[in-house]
Amino acid sequence: MTMAEATSVTDIVSFKNLNVSPASVAMGARIEGIDLARDHGIEVIDHLRSLLLEHHLLVFPGQKLSAIELEAFGRMWGELLTHPATKHRDTDYVQFIGGKNRKFKLLPGVHPFGGGWHSDMTWHSTPPRITGLHARRLPSTGGDTAFSNQHIAYETLDDETKEQIADLEAFHTGKVFGPDVEDSVHPVVRTHDESARKALYVNGNFTKHIVGLTNDESERLLYRLFAHATRPEFTYRHQWDLDDLVMWDNRSVMHYAIGDYDETRIMHRFVVKGGKPS
C-alpha cells in the first residue's frame, strides 16, 4: 500500500465516525469532527452528500475558511453559479452578503437580502440545488436564519389541494435584481431528482403567479400555499456562531434571513447549479 492510499483509508475511517446529531425534528443535522478546509476529498463529499439527502440541511460548526477555500469546497459539489447582485471581491463564485441597520424593516414586499421565505434563485432556469452559507461576522444578537422542510409541507397538504396543484406551473421573476435578470416557469410541485420525493416549490419572494389562473385565483392559492409551507412545525431556526457553515438542499428547503438586528452581519455564500425543476 502506498502512503497516499494509507492516508485515504485513514480519512475514510475517520470521516465515517463523524459526530452527527439531529438539528431539529423537521430537518437538519449537526456534523462535528471534520475540517472542511482539509477534509473534502471525493469519498468525504459522497458521504456528506448522502447525509444532506437524508437531513436536507447540514450544520458544520467552527469552519475556518477564506472565501477562496469556501469556493474550493463548493466546487466539490458541482458547478457553481454566480449571482447578479452579490459578489465577493476575491471571486465571483462566492457571494458577499452583508449589511446593517436593517432592523424590523417590515414594509410589505421589502426585505433585506435573503429575507422573506424563498428557495434560492428560483427565477433561474436551472436554480441552485445546494447553497452553502458561512458566517463571517455576526451581530451580538439576532440575525438567525429560519428553514422550512418543503417535503413535509407537500406531504401534509390535503388530498384535494394535492390534486388541484399536481400539474400547475408558476412564474418566478428575478427582475428584483436587475432588468436583464431572467424569469422562469417551474412546476408548483417538484420531484427531487435524487430521492424522488415531492416538495412544494413556490415562494413569496420570486413566485409571482400561477400560470393559467386569473390573478384572483392565483393570489388566493399562492397565499394559502405560502402560509402552509412555513408552518412552525416544518421549520428549523439556526442561531449562528462565527465560522458556522450551513449547507441546505434548495430542492427540499426554503429559508428566511431574519432581519431583526442593526449591527453588521456578513455571510459568504456559494450556490451549486441544479437541473431544470420537474
Nearer to ligand SIN, 86 or 91 (CB): 86
CB of 128 to ligand SIN, least distance (A): 9
CB of 145 to ligand SIN, least distance (A): 4
CB of 87 to ligand SIN, least distance (A): 14
**Tally: H helices and E strands in the chain:** 6, 16
Cell numbers placing 263 = 449591527
Distance CA 209, CA 171 (A): 5
CB of 94 to ligand SIN, least distance (A): 12
Cell numbers placing 90 = 476575491
CB of 116 to ligand SIN, least distance (A): 9
Distance CA 27, CA 267 (A): 22
**Contact yes or no for 178/85 (Cβ under 8 A):** yes
Type of residue at 5: E
Beta bridge partners of 59: 30, 246
* Buried/exposed 130-168: b ≥16 CB within 10 Å, e otherwise: bbbbbbbebbeebbebbbbbbbbbbeebeeeeeeebeeb
CB of 250 to ligand SIN, least distance (A): 9
Q: Which positions lie near ligand SIN, rule CB under 6 A?
A: 97, 114, 120, 131, 133, 145, 255, 257, 267, 269
Distance CA 200, CA 36 (A): 31
